[in-house]
Structure 1
Amino acid sequence: MDPETQGAVRETPDRYGAFPRLTPEQLQDLAAHGERRGTAEGEVLYREGEPFREFLAVLGGTVGMLHDHGGPDERTVAVHGPGRFLGELGLLEGQAAFETAVVRETGEVLAVPVERQRALVGSDPLLGDLILRAYLGRRYLLIGLGAGFRILGSSYSRDTLRLREFAARNRLPHRWVDLEKDGEAEALLRRFAIRPDETPVVLWQGERLLRNPSNAELARLIGLPAPSPEHERCDVLVVGAGPAGLAAAVYGASDGLTTVTVDAVAAGGQAATSSRIENYLGFPSGISGGELVERAVLQVHKFGARLTVPAEVSGLTPQDDGYVVTFTDGSRARAGAVVLASGVRYRRLEVPGIDRLEGRSVHYAATVHEAGLCRADPVAVVGGGNSAGQAALFLAGHASRVHLLVRGGDLNADMSRYLVDQVRQHPKIEVSLHTEVRGVAGEEGLESLTVEDNASGARRELRAAALFVFIGARPRTEWLRGVLALDEKGFVVTGADAGPAADANRWAPLGRGPLLLETTLPGVFAAGDVRSGSVKRVASAAGEGAMAIRLVHEHRERRGSPAAGSGPAHRGG
């Protein structure tokens, strides 16, 4: 048996396309951008918690990927042989590594500087798609394994819930150690001399400890692009990094505008919580919200837009020929134009006693993180729209049974036909129309629901270990009240609807009224779910984000400060 075949036998089998092999031609192309380097048994190629500096392809020998290297919980995540490449999603997005790479058998690697590799991923479609799909698969495997940092805290703590939500929404590998239930908790408290009242804490690499960190502090630990104290002036500042905001960032930066995008929690918005989007143009077999978002984030970086998370906006003030945007940490940014794409947040279910179960067994998203908590128990989904239908189908792959509870009497009223057909045909999903949740029961977690038939008034008990709520949404516009016009539900008014509410003194010097997506403030546009009258679909949100940039150009031209060059630099999209 030759050395390459022998190494392959000991490799981790490729699962879900997470561990593909580069072709000889691809390795040859990469060699022009890097260097070949010998490796020795036991050599550490990169460490968990440290930033990636190189993209490494294995040319000879084998390399083990370890979690908690040198710690009491050390374990091998994967083993790679010749033709395989190392790393995961953090390499492309500037995050720290979530694994340690250790040489198992002496051999050779091809090392490409990480910035050069990121450029290659953006310029070579075949190589870029292969690496991105592998890295996405590896990220989800790490999340499923509970790799990464640990959040030690009580399930009754709002700060614990905040940290868990931030980690989950940013798709960061982590594991929650429940202070009340997990046997590991007591040992960790003693080991690090942590008092229970000091929790929650974040632990990483067996030695790094943050006591009740802010989201920004956790972001800095992981290497997320946390906000700088003060932004310089930019051409366009985009508030919100959902599909509309990411599209605006991509089109703004590709058109030559200096573009900054900020989000209070994570890139992706509500779309990132969708387990499967099947009617998005160009993806006939569907695409998960998480994968769609990661691809968009890479495009944002490719064109040079700046993406900052977490950065929560608290104020918008006109100044000179632009705007000053204020953040909750006191920092400010100046922008010539602003695109509001802050999206919506799901409405909470108003049921007595539900507060204490939120974050433990009552959820407002259905991702890999929440699904992993189901443990083959029956669950319930509340809602009759597409989000509820997608969640029910996704959870049916994890739970023993899914009860879809719909307040109305017709599933077709708010759900796309293709989803209705799949939901009704799935053997694990039971649809209950005219049904509302009236009560929850369970001490440490949800055990059962009291549901009522709103047509007959009859009540019954329904066993469920988790409840997923998708009952509509409200806009994230509290900070905009009194700044620009909102409709009666709090959504941002734009275009012709904004005209009657606009300040004539502000618009008269411009000689025009609000453009199609423009608000009652000149140069401030709204796109996506936050806009009054929007379609509330991922595709339309992305389209509006792109359209907003076209209107930014028109605003700048009419104001007498055209964009770089004579107009948009990229019209192909």
Structure 2
Amino acid sequence: MTGTSASAAGMDALLASVPTEETPDLYGAFPRLDEGQIRTLSALGERRPTQRGEVLIAEGEPERTFYVVLGGRAAVVECYGTSDARVVRVHGPGRFLGEIGLFTGQPAFFTTVAAEPGEVLAVPAERIRQLALTDPALGDLLLRAYLIRRGLALGEGMGFRIVGSRFSADSRRLREFAARNRLPHRFIDLESDPSAEAMLQHLGISPDETPVVIWRDRVLRNPGNAELAALMGLRDDASKPEICDLVVVGGGPAGLAAAVYGASEGLDTALLDAVATGGQAARTSRIENYLGFPAGISGGELTERAIIQAEKFGARLTVPAPVVGLERADGQYVLRLADGDGVAARTVIVATGVSFRRLPVPRLEEFEETSVYYAATPVEAQMCVGDPVVVVGGGNSAGQAALFLADHAAEVRLVVREHSLDEYMSRYLADRIERDPRIEVLVHHEVRELEGENEMLEAVVVEDTDTHERRTLPARELMVFIGADPCTNWLQGTVAVDSGGYILTGADAIRATAGVADEPRRQPLPLETSAPGVFAAGDVRSGSIKRVASAVGEGSMAVRLVHEYLASAR
């Protein structure tokens, strides 16, 4: 990773150090296949011997082959081929290798080598993806294990490196982009990690050139999100057609559902998102009221499952792809992207969701790049370890954030404007918070001031709205969940919106034609906007129910209406 190649002797020493014991099966991440499952897979591939040191899966390369260890041991190595190489996993007979990239097409983040002479069963990746469709039990076993492996890699800080200052806005941007796209990485803080400066000196990089991304033999100096996405296999523009049947803008639950149903029903479908798929749901540590998951599911896992499902049916997902405008010409739409490119479509589904509101308090901008957050993902959790944290908000997002951060922060205080915790929060969530001794709840309180020096937050001043008594709460991080505004600025003058900026659809949309005055007036279909062939789904739609289940329902329903529109337009 640091650019220093390891010698052959070093690689021999590495292989000699591989433990004889297998890595324990953590949470079902490394299950052993039974004889029947191996027989099923044997019909699709071939058995072949392996030699000590043989590379089976190469870091940075697509996973084109699925391997099952039949004899010997296989070692998963981070930073293989460099002086920083280390063994992170060991697998023996009956275990399968690889990661989620086998299903998503992302490159491998680790190298897997044969630690000793043995035998493997090798199956082409395409055949495994087909098997997952015809053998749901085996397919779900593989997918579930791969999802857990990705979660473990994220939690353990494996993968590529981001080196920079925790006080840098660009460091935070790269970390958030990597976290929201669930890319395994480790952040090396120039402020606290003694190895960081030595690493930069070895690479000939000065501190003012940071942050840098280091992966394999590549060093990217303060890359943009698009550059990092291309390196990690998130962008694939090569197969983009001249015109799509359907373009979905926004990759939250509504957008992903639309992509799944659009592609599965034969529409040439593309999905564009400005930052990452998953939307607000992906920032949620656990969704507990979504049908079919009685134990709950993390927003990240739900997102990854939906991505695999969409791509399985042929939808093209592009991240990052910020859409800045929508134009109509010659009976079709052109979506203008921030990089100057354009995507043509016969129909559009807008599922851009909402963005969190900012606190109306003095000095917010001073601390926003270092200490104020609008999500509670593993990245934020790492920043909060051992610190006092204040969470502001009375909805489910704030409640989930408080519970999640309580596992990491020294203290968590939840500041709620309402007089009771369950006024806008689900009762089950409010009950859990009230029973949790690690969380102090301050109802009918609002934030009035922020205190700190050198752009670092030290305390939050809150006021009791009944007694007007003020209290100073120690806080190194401030988490804000006080509602949201629709992401519709890019549609200004194109579709009709309500007084809050949410998109009007169906019967409500007939009241205005907003930008399509030359179009004959017609009754829009349900979920259709005032622009013919443009539909809205999920939180961005006026009157929508702000829940994951309803967003998924609207996204799938919008596709059915797209079919009706296309049929009538022929």
TM-score of the alignment, normalized to the shorter chain, above 0.5: yes
Residue 471 of structure 2 is aligned to residue 460 of structure 1: yes
Contact 2:169/2:370 (8 A) holds in 1: no
Residue of structure 1 in register with 2:11 after alignment? none
Residue of structure 2 in register with 1:309 after alignment? 319
Q: Which amino acid aligns with 1:174?
A: H
Compared with structure 1, are the counterparts of its residues 521 and 66 closer, same or farther at alpha carbon in structure 2 (3 Å cutoff)?
same
Q: How far does the alpha carbon of each residue in 1:343-378 deviate from its partner, in whole angstroms, 9 at most, with x for none?
A: 111112343344354454432111222223322443
With 184-193 and 220-229 compared, the bigger mean Cα shift is at 220-229
Residue of structure 1 in register with 2:252 after alignment? 242
Residue 61 of structure 2 is aligned to residue 56 of structure 1: no
CA distance in 2, matches of 1:356, 1:102: 49
Q: Following TM superposition, by how much is the alpha carbon of 1:443 offset from its aligned partner in structure 2, in angstroms? A: 4.6
Residue of structure 1 in register with 2:174 after alignment? 163
Q: How far does the alpha carbon of each residue in 1:110-149 deviate from its partner, in whole angstroms, 9 at most, with x for none?
A: 1111222222224322112211221111112111221111
Q: Following TM superposition, by how much is the alpha carbon of 1:320 offset from its aligned partner in structure 2, in angstroms? A: 1.9
CA distance in 2, matches of 1:440, 1:73: 41
Q: Secondary structure at the match of 1:307?
A: strand
TM-score scaled by length of structure 1 = 0.92
Residue of structure 1 in register with 2:76 after alignment? 65
Residue of structure 2 in register with 1:4 after alignment? none
CA distance in 1, matches of 2:53, 2:107: 21
Compared with structure 1, are the counterparts of its residues 442 and 406 closer, same or farther at alpha carbon in structure 2 (3 Å cutoff)?
farther
Compared with structure 1, are the counterparts of its residues 320 and 444 closer, same or farther at alpha carbon in structure 2 (3 Å cutoff)?
closer
Q: Following TM superposition, by how much is the alpha carbon of 1:34 offset from its aligned partner in structure 2, in angstroms? A: 1.3
Residue of structure 1 in register with 2:197 after alignment? 186
Q: Following TM superposition, by how much is the alpha carbon of 1:189 offset from its aligned partner in structure 2, in angstroms? A: 2.0
Residue of structure 2 in register with 1:362 after alignment? 372
Among candidates 30, 36, 59, match of residue 25 of structure 1: 36
Residue of structure 2 in register with 1:564 after alignment? none
Q: Secondary structure at the match of 2:335?
A: strand
Q: How far does the alpha carbon of each residue in 1:522-565 deviate from its partner, in whole angstroms, 9 at most, with x for none?
A: 000000011111111111011000010111111112212xxxxx
CA distance in 2, matches of 1:43, 1:97: 16
Q: Following TM superposition, by how much is the alpha carbon of 1:177 offset from its aligned partner in structure 2, in angstroms? A: 2.1
Contact 2:458/2:476 (8 A) holds in 1: yes
Q: Following TM superposition, by how much is the alpha carbon of 1:247 offset from its aligned partner in structure 2, in angstroms? A: 0.4
Matches within 5 A, 1:398-477: 398-437=408-447, 438-441=449-452, 443=454, 445-477=456-488
Q: Following TM superposition, by how much is the alpha carbon of 1:458 offset from its aligned partner in structure 2, in angstroms? A: 1.5
Q: Secondary structure at the match of 1:121?
A: helix
CA distance in 2, matches of 1:222, 1:457: 51
Q: Secondary structure at the match of 1:278?
A: coil
Among candidates 209, 223, 236, match of residue 213 of structure 1: 223
Q: Secondary structure at the match of 2:258?
A: helix
Among candidates 148, 164, 167, match of residue 153 of structure 1: 164
CA distance in 2, matches of 1:143, 1:26: 29
Compared with structure 1, are the counterparts of its residues 181 and 352 closer, same or farther at alpha carbon in structure 2 (3 Å cutoff)?
farther
Q: Following TM superposition, by how much is the alpha carbon of 1:446 offset from its aligned partner in structure 2, in angstroms? A: 3.7
Residue of structure 2 in register with 1:89 after alignment? 100
Residue 564 of structure 2 is aligned to residue 554 of structure 1: yes
Residue 549 of structure 2 is aligned to residue 539 of structure 1: yes
CA distance in 2, matches of 1:422, 1:403: 14
Residue 136 of structure 2 is aligned to residue 99 of structure 1: no
Q: Secondary structure at the match of 2:102?
A: helix
Q: Following TM superposition, by how much is the alpha carbon of 1:159 offset from its aligned partner in structure 2, in angstroms? A: 2.2
Q: Following TM superposition, by how much is the alpha carbon of 1:228 offset from its aligned partner in structure 2, in angstroms? A: 4.9
Residue of structure 2 in register with 1:291 after alignment? 301
CA distance in 2, matches of 1:426, 1:178: 32
Compared with structure 1, are the counterparts of its residues 121 and 225 closer, same or farther at alpha carbon in structure 2 (3 Å cutoff)?
farther
Residue of structure 1 in register with 2:273 after alignment? 263
Residue 340 of structure 2 is aligned to residue 326 of structure 1: no
Compared with structure 1, are the counterparts of its residues 75 and 360 closer, same or farther at alpha carbon in structure 2 (3 Å cutoff)?
farther
Compared with structure 1, are the counterparts of its residues 488 and 444 closer, same or farther at alpha carbon in structure 2 (3 Å cutoff)?
closer
Q: Which amino acid aligns with 1:218?
A: L
* Structure 1: 5+ residue stretches without partners: 1-6, 561-573
Q: Which amino acid aligns with 1:63?
A: A
Compared with structure 1, are the counterparts of its residues 106 and 138 closer, same or farther at alpha carbon in structure 2 (3 Å cutoff)?
same
Residue 21 of structure 2 is aligned to residue 10 of structure 1: yes
Residue of structure 2 in register with 1:352 after alignment? 362
Q: Secondary structure at the match of 1:164?
A: helix
Compared with structure 1, are the counterparts of its residues 230 and 258 closer, same or farther at alpha carbon in structure 2 (3 Å cutoff)?
closer
Among candidates 502, 526, 537, match of residue 513 of structure 2: 502
Contact 1:148/1:175 (8 A) holds in 2: yes
Q: Following TM superposition, by how much is the alpha carbon of 1:505 offset from its aligned partner in structure 2, in angstroms? A: 5.2
CA distance in 2, matches of 1:287, 1:32: 34
CA distance in 1, matches of 2:282, 2:517: 41
CA distance in 2, matches of 1:193, 1:9: 39
Residue 127 of structure 2 is aligned to residue 116 of structure 1: yes
Residue of structure 1 in register with 2:528 after alignment? 518
CA distance in 2, matches of 1:72, 1:9: 22
Matches within 5 A, 1:218-237: 218-228=228-238, 231-237=241-247
Contact 1:383/1:471 (8 A) holds in 2: yes
Q: CA RMSD in A?
A: 2.0
CA distance in 1, matches of 2:29, 2:182: 16
CA distance in 2, matches of 1:230, 1:318: 19
Q: How far does the alpha carbon of each residue in 1:245-288 deviate from its partner, in whole angstroms, 9 at most, with x for none?
A: 00001111111111111111111011001111111011111111
Q: Which amino acid aligns with 2:493?
A: G
Q: How far does the alpha carbon of each residue in 1:476-534 deviate from its partner, in whole angstroms, 9 at most, with x for none?
A: 111111111122222111111111112685453xx731111011100000000111111
Compared with structure 1, are the counterparts of its residues 154 and 350 closer, same or farther at alpha carbon in structure 2 (3 Å cutoff)?
farther
Q: Following TM superposition, by how much is the alpha carbon of 1:451 offset from its aligned partner in structure 2, in angstroms? A: 1.9
Contact 1:378/1:466 (8 A) holds in 2: yes
Q: Secondary structure at the match of 1:398?
A: coil
Compared with structure 1, are the counterparts of its residues 442 and 144 closer, same or farther at alpha carbon in structure 2 (3 Å cutoff)?
farther
Q: Which amino acid aligns with 1:275?
A: S
CA distance in 1, matches of 2:474, 2:202: 39
Q: Following TM superposition, by how much is the alpha carbon of 1:202 offset from its aligned partner in structure 2, in angstroms? A: 0.9
Residue of structure 1 in register with 2:12 after alignment? none
CA distance in 1, matches of 2:303, 2:139: 16
Residue of structure 1 in register with 2:89 after alignment? 78
Identity level (%):
60
Residue 196 of structure 2 is aligned to residue 201 of structure 1: no
Q: Following TM superposition, by how much is the alpha carbon of 1:433 offset from its aligned partner in structure 2, in angstroms? A: 0.6
Contact 2:450/2:457 (8 A) holds in 1: no
CA distance in 2, matches of 1:536, 1:50: 40
Contact 2:169/2:369 (8 A) holds in 1: no
CA distance in 2, matches of 1:356, 1:161: 15
Q: Secondary structure at the match of 1:175?
A: strand
* Structure 2: 5+ residue stretches without partners: 1-17
CA distance in 1, matches of 2:456, 2:139: 43
TM-score scaled by length of structure 2 = 0.92
Compared with structure 1, are the counterparts of its residues 355 and 127 closer, same or farther at alpha carbon in structure 2 (3 Å cutoff)?
farther
Compared with structure 1, are the counterparts of its residues 493 and 313 closer, same or farther at alpha carbon in structure 2 (3 Å cutoff)?
same
Compared with structure 1, are the counterparts of its residues 407 and 226 closer, same or farther at alpha carbon in structure 2 (3 Å cutoff)?
farther
Q: Following TM superposition, by how much is the alpha carbon of 1:304 offset from its aligned partner in structure 2, in angstroms? A: 1.0
Contact 2:46/2:121 (8 A) holds in 1: yes
Contact 2:164/2:190 (8 A) holds in 1: yes
Contact 1:239/1:313 (8 A) holds in 2: yes
Matches within 5 A, 1:105-144: 105-144=116-155
Q: How far does the alpha carbon of each residue in 1:171-220 deviate from its partner, in whole angstroms, 9 at most, with x for none?
A: 11112222333322211221111123322221112x21112212111011
Q: Secondary structure at the match of 2:348?
A: strand
